[in-house]
Amino acid sequence: MDSFRSIPFEPRELKASPEMLEKIYAAAKLGLRGDALAFAADLLPIEYRRLTQLDAAAATAEAKGRADSEVEAATVLRGAALEGDSKAALALLTHLHGWVAKTQVQVDIKSQISIIAALQEAESRVIEGRVLQEAQPALEYAEKPIKALETTYAAAE
Protein backbone atom coordinates (compact mmCIF):
# COMPACT_ATOMS: atom_id res chain seq x y z
CA MET A 1 0.00 0.00 0.00
CA ASP A 2 1.64 3.23 -1.19
CA SER A 3 -0.95 5.72 0.11
CA PHE A 4 1.15 7.03 3.02
CA ARG A 5 4.55 8.50 2.36
CA SER A 6 7.35 8.66 4.86
CA ILE A 7 7.56 11.76 7.02
CA PRO A 8 11.05 13.02 7.85
CA PHE A 9 11.74 13.08 11.59
CA GLU A 10 15.28 14.39 11.64
CA PRO A 11 16.01 18.12 11.65
CA ARG A 12 16.72 19.48 8.22
CA GLU A 13 18.44 22.61 7.13
CA LEU A 14 15.81 25.13 6.10
CA LYS A 15 16.78 27.10 3.06
CA ALA A 16 14.62 28.91 0.53
CA SER A 17 16.20 27.29 -2.50
CA PRO A 18 14.77 27.98 -5.95
CA GLU A 19 13.27 24.46 -6.01
CA MET A 20 11.64 24.99 -2.60
CA LEU A 21 10.23 28.39 -3.64
CA GLU A 22 8.84 26.81 -6.82
CA LYS A 23 7.05 24.11 -4.77
CA ILE A 24 5.59 26.76 -2.44
CA TYR A 25 4.51 28.83 -5.45
CA ALA A 26 2.83 25.84 -7.14
CA ALA A 27 0.98 24.79 -3.98
CA ALA A 28 -0.25 28.33 -3.30
CA LYS A 29 -1.35 28.67 -6.93
CA LEU A 30 -3.53 25.58 -6.45
CA GLY A 31 -5.20 27.32 -3.51
CA LEU A 32 -3.64 25.29 -0.72
CA ARG A 33 -3.18 26.93 2.67
CA GLY A 34 -1.50 26.23 5.97
CA ASP A 35 -0.51 22.63 6.64
CA ALA A 36 -1.66 21.41 3.22
CA LEU A 37 0.61 23.94 1.53
CA ALA A 38 3.54 22.87 3.72
CA PHE A 39 3.07 19.18 2.95
CA ALA A 40 2.66 19.88 -0.78
CA ALA A 41 6.00 21.72 -0.68
CA ASP A 42 7.62 18.66 1.01
CA LEU A 43 7.92 20.48 4.34
CA LEU A 44 6.50 19.86 7.77
CA PRO A 45 4.10 22.60 8.90
CA ILE A 46 6.52 23.77 11.59
CA GLU A 47 9.33 23.90 9.02
CA TYR A 48 7.21 25.95 6.65
CA ARG A 49 6.28 28.44 9.38
CA ARG A 50 9.93 28.81 10.36
CA LEU A 51 10.97 29.23 6.74
CA THR A 52 8.45 32.04 6.18
CA GLN A 53 9.68 33.76 9.35
CA LEU A 54 13.35 33.43 8.47
CA ASP A 55 13.19 34.14 4.75
CA ALA A 56 10.70 36.58 3.21
CA ALA A 57 11.17 34.91 -0.19
CA ALA A 58 9.01 31.98 0.98
CA ALA A 59 6.12 34.26 1.91
CA THR A 60 6.59 36.15 -1.35
CA ALA A 61 6.44 32.89 -3.34
CA GLU A 62 3.16 32.01 -1.59
CA ALA A 63 1.66 35.46 -2.24
CA LYS A 64 2.78 35.37 -5.89
CA GLY A 65 1.21 31.93 -6.36
CA ARG A 66 -2.12 33.13 -4.92
CA ALA A 67 -2.05 36.30 -7.04
CA ASP A 68 -1.31 34.42 -10.27
CA SER A 69 -4.13 31.97 -9.52
CA GLU A 70 -6.55 34.84 -8.92
CA VAL A 71 -5.50 36.52 -12.17
CA GLU A 72 -6.15 33.30 -14.11
CA ALA A 73 -9.58 32.80 -12.56
CA ALA A 74 -10.55 36.45 -13.04
CA THR A 75 -9.47 36.32 -16.68
CA VAL A 76 -11.60 33.23 -17.33
CA LEU A 77 -14.59 34.73 -15.52
CA ARG A 78 -14.33 38.05 -17.36
CA GLY A 79 -13.97 36.25 -20.68
CA ALA A 80 -17.12 34.23 -19.99
CA ALA A 81 -19.01 37.39 -19.03
CA LEU A 82 -17.92 39.16 -22.22
CA GLU A 83 -19.05 36.16 -24.26
CA GLY A 84 -22.57 36.45 -22.85
CA ASP A 85 -22.60 34.26 -19.73
CA SER A 86 -25.07 36.06 -17.48
CA LYS A 87 -24.04 34.18 -14.32
CA ALA A 88 -20.42 35.18 -14.85
CA ALA A 89 -21.44 38.78 -15.48
CA LEU A 90 -23.57 38.79 -12.32
CA ALA A 91 -20.66 37.34 -10.31
CA LEU A 92 -18.37 40.10 -11.56
CA LEU A 93 -20.89 42.83 -10.76
CA THR A 94 -21.58 41.42 -7.30
CA HIS A 95 -18.05 40.66 -6.11
CA LEU A 96 -15.93 43.26 -7.86
CA HIS A 97 -18.23 46.24 -8.12
CA GLY A 98 -20.42 45.77 -5.03
CA TRP A 99 -23.58 45.58 -7.11
CA VAL A 100 -26.71 44.34 -5.35
CA ALA A 101 -29.95 43.38 -7.06
CA LYS A 102 -32.99 45.45 -6.11
CA THR A 103 -35.09 43.89 -3.40
CA GLN A 104 -37.59 46.72 -3.11
CA VAL A 105 -41.21 45.81 -3.77
CA GLN A 106 -42.90 48.21 -6.14
CA VAL A 107 -46.58 49.08 -5.74
CA ASP A 108 -48.47 49.16 -8.99
CA ILE A 109 -50.00 52.44 -10.17
CA LYS A 110 -53.61 51.18 -10.06
CA SER A 111 -53.39 50.58 -6.30
CA GLN A 112 -51.96 54.05 -5.73
CA ILE A 113 -54.70 55.64 -7.82
CA SER A 114 -57.47 53.81 -5.96
CA ILE A 115 -56.01 54.87 -2.59
CA ILE A 116 -55.75 58.46 -3.76
CA ALA A 117 -59.33 58.36 -5.09
CA ALA A 118 -60.60 56.95 -1.78
CA LEU A 119 -58.84 59.70 0.17
CA GLN A 120 -60.28 62.38 -2.13
CA GLU A 121 -63.79 60.92 -1.73
CA ALA A 122 -63.46 60.92 2.07
CA GLU A 123 -62.22 64.51 2.03
CA SER A 124 -65.13 65.64 -0.14
CA ARG A 125 -67.61 64.06 2.30
CA VAL A 126 -66.09 66.00 5.18
CA ILE A 127 -66.01 69.28 3.27
CA GLU A 128 -69.55 68.95 1.91
CA GLY A 129 -70.89 67.93 5.31
CA ARG A 130 -72.40 64.65 4.18
CA VAL A 131 -73.13 62.38 7.12
CA LEU A 132 -74.22 58.76 7.06
CA GLN A 133 -77.85 58.25 8.07
CA GLU A 134 -77.17 55.28 10.29
CA ALA A 135 -74.67 55.95 13.03
CA GLN A 136 -72.55 53.09 14.15
CA PRO A 137 -73.19 52.02 17.75
CA ALA A 138 -70.39 52.90 20.11
CA LEU A 139 -68.50 50.09 21.74
CA GLU A 140 -69.48 49.58 25.33
CA TYR A 141 -67.74 47.82 28.14
CA ALA A 142 -69.91 45.70 30.36
CA GLU A 143 -68.52 44.21 33.51
CA LYS A 144 -69.05 40.50 33.86
CA PRO A 145 -69.11 38.77 37.22
CA ILE A 146 -65.89 37.01 38.14
CA LYS A 147 -66.27 33.28 38.55
CA ALA A 148 -64.64 31.73 41.58
CA LEU A 149 -62.50 28.69 41.01
CA GLU A 150 -63.80 25.54 42.63
CA THR A 151 -61.36 23.30 44.42
CA THR A 152 -61.79 19.61 43.73
CA TYR A 153 -59.86 16.79 45.25
CA ALA A 154 -59.30 13.35 43.84
CA ALA A 155 -60.66 10.60 46.03
CA ALA A 156 -58.65 7.45 46.54
CA GLU A 157 -60.64 4.28 46.14
Domain residue spans in the chain? 18-97
- pLDDT for 99 equals 77
Contact 13, 50 (CB under 8 A): no
Do 23 and 41 contact (CB within 8 A), yes or no? yes
C-alpha 91/C-alpha 69 separation (Å) is 17
Instruction: Give the pTM.
Output: 0.52
Gap between the Cα atoms of 30 and 120, Å rounded: 68
Residues 63-111 have pLDDT tens digits of 999 999 999 988 888 888 888 888 888 888 887 777 777 666 556 555 5
The reported pLDDT for the residue numbered 26 is 94
CB 29 within 8 A of CB 68: yes
Rounded mean pLDDT of 27-46? 91
